[in-house]
Structure 1
Amino acid sequence: MITLAGKKALVLGIANNRSIAWAIAQAFHSAGAELAVNYLPDEKGRFEAKVRELTAPLAPAIFAPCDVRDDAQIAHLFETIASKWGRLDILVHCLAFGNKEDLQGPFTQIRRDGYSLAMEVSAFSLIALANRAVSLMPDGGSILTLTYIGSTRVMEGYGVMGPAKAALEANTRYLAAELGKQNVRVNAVSAGPIRTLAASGLGNIHEAIHKTEAASAIKRAVTQEEVANTALFLASDLASAITGQTIYVDCGFSIMGG
């Protein structure tokens, strides 16, 4: 059994009980990790209330607002972690966003601001968070992010997220190369399509899942729990020699031909 006993883990991007981030937070909690989680602040506090209620059974030691487009909020989050824990062992980045029209519309009509937004939230944010996290990892640590095969293949309805995820995977490799000397590992998990709130914005998620089921080696779709189990392994000391990698967790879809 994998243990994270004594580990301090920050999981960003929990949205609801179908999100991969939620499954990862549950797996980490079951393995003994102490958790910090964020919520996206909004004027009516809807996200805060939803995430607070959902994560209550996990008793997160830190529950803080963080919009990764705001450097001040990122700084405040890590200052809170430093004050409460003094260190951080694991950072999990489950953040991505693209405007609906930039996902489902013609690729040539993606506007500059929409492209920049997708890159900022989905790719650059990993760099911004890692920059803060590494100072709290003096004895090493593990940084994880989530990606998708649309980074290397053209997937219908994925639009602007394809380049954003490609950039995210490149960021993973460059961060791994730089932070390796500090014993900080950086990896990406490329999950197959799953029925999550984020995936519903793609418009054709049900069709994508059915195609994956038919074309994958195992002939089924992956689950949130299976992705979380991979994240648990990569965050643990059992994966101490794995860094800079994109690990496919898609029931073998990525290995198959047309």
Structure 2
Amino acid sequence: MFSLQGKKALIIGIANDNSIAYGCAKALRRQGADLAITYLNEKAEKHVRPLAEQLGAEIIAPLDVTQDGQFTALFDRIRETWGRVDICLHAVAFCPKEDLHARVVDTSREGFGQAMDISVHSFIRMVRRAEPLMPPGGTCMTVSFYGAEKVVENYNIMGPVKAALESVTKYMAAELGPKGISVHALSPGPIKTRAASGLEDFDELLEDAAERAPTHQLVSIEQVGAYAAFLASEEAGNITGGVHYIDGGYHIVG
């Protein structure tokens, strides 16, 4: 079995113990990686810090991805503490509620820009800062959804936003491949996370996914984490640029 012993992993996007990022953090730690875990703000810290401490995270730091100063401070701390980073996971997405619930054609300019900045460009900003700390190579991952590829009812503007996220994943994989840095988009099926609960009729989406998936099961954060841990391993070093479906086959049934 693969090992991540001694690898240094940054996890961005844990909100609580139902977060996809938390499932990934658990799996990376189980395989031996040392963790740096961020929280959004003081309100989020009380939920995230206990989880990070349970996982033995060596770095626990604030990160609002809209604040460049916090991004800089985080990576400065990683440089001072570890001198490098081997794995970066980005699991951050946001859209103002009024735009998330609107038709795509009615999306405001401000809401569209905010959704793209937080959900997509923050991934670019993360990878840009990680690149100089990955001289032997490394792995960068983000989290997408099938609504990037096909129209999913009530996913609305987040479909085009996730499509952009998948596209930048491919372009960055092409640019960074010669440096040994792989870039991936994880695409889990519907999971009952805090962020996803903001979608209209989300419980119906969960039921539909379980019914339509060939396995007739919803994916768990632990299963997503196991896949992410493999992609972070040396054994997966020649895999890059992909959108990796972890959804019980949900994406193949149309």
TM-score, normalisation: structure 2: 0.98
Q: Report which stretch shifted further, 155-164 or 245-254.
A: 155-164
The answer for the alignment partner of 2:236 in structure 1 is 239
SS of 1:197's equivalent in the other structure is coil
The answer for the alignment partner of 1:29 in structure 2 is 29
Superimposed CA distance per residue, residues 160-209 of structure 1 (whole angstroms, 9 cap, x where no aligned partner): 21111001000100100010111000011100001111110012221111
Mapped to 1, the partners of 2:211 and 2:198 lie a distance apart of 22
Residue of 212, 226, 229 corresponding to 2:209: 212
Superimposed CA distance per residue, residues 44-82 of structure 1 (whole angstroms, 9 cap, x where no aligned partner): x22122211222111111111111111111111100000
The answer for the alignment partner of 1:125 in structure 2 is 122
Please say if 1:6 is aligned against 2:3. Answer: no
Please say if 1:181 is aligned against 2:178. Answer: yes
The answer for the alignment partner of 2:77 in structure 1 is 80
Mapped to 2, the partners of 1:226 and 1:191 lie a distance apart of 9
Mapped to 2, the partners of 1:99 and 1:225 lie a distance apart of 29
The answer for the alignment partner of 1:40 in structure 2 is 40
Q: How many residues align?
A: 254
SS of 1:76's equivalent in the other structure is helix
Q: Report which stretch shifted further, 122-131 or 202-211.
A: 202-211
Q: CA deviation at 1:86?
A: 0.2
Q: CA deviation at 1:143?
A: 0.4
Mapped to 2, the partners of 1:114 and 1:40 lie a distance apart of 20
Superimposed CA distance per residue, residues 124-146 of structure 1 (whole angstroms, 9 cap, x where no aligned partner): 11111100001000000000111
Mapped to 2, the partners of 1:46 and 1:127 lie a distance apart of 26
Mapped to 2, the partners of 1:204 and 1:141 lie a distance apart of 38
Residue of 106, 109, 112 corresponding to 2:109: 112
| Structure 1: unaligned runs, 5 residues or longer | none
Q: What fraction of aligned residue pairs are identical, expressed as a percent?
A: 44
Q: CA deviation at 1:108?
A: 1.7
Mapped to 2, the partners of 1:160 and 1:76 lie a distance apart of 32
8 Å Cα contact 2:10-2:88 kept in structure 1: yes
Mapped to 1, the partners of 2:200 and 2:221 lie a distance apart of 19
Counterpart code for 1:244 = G
Counterpart code for 2:109 = R
| Structure 2: unaligned runs, 5 residues or longer | none
SS of 2:195's equivalent in the other structure is helix
The answer for the alignment partner of 2:154 in structure 1 is 157
Superimposed CA distance per residue, residues 205-232 of structure 1 (whole angstroms, 9 cap, x where no aligned partner): 2111111111111112111111111101
CA RMSD of aligned residues (A): 0.9
Superimposed CA distance per residue, residues 12-64 of structure 1 (whole angstroms, 9 cap, x where no aligned partner): 000000001011111111111000011112xxx22122211222111111111
Q: CA deviation at 1:106?
A: 2.1
Q: After TM superposition, what 4+ stretches of structure 1 lie above 2 angstroms from structure 2?
A: none
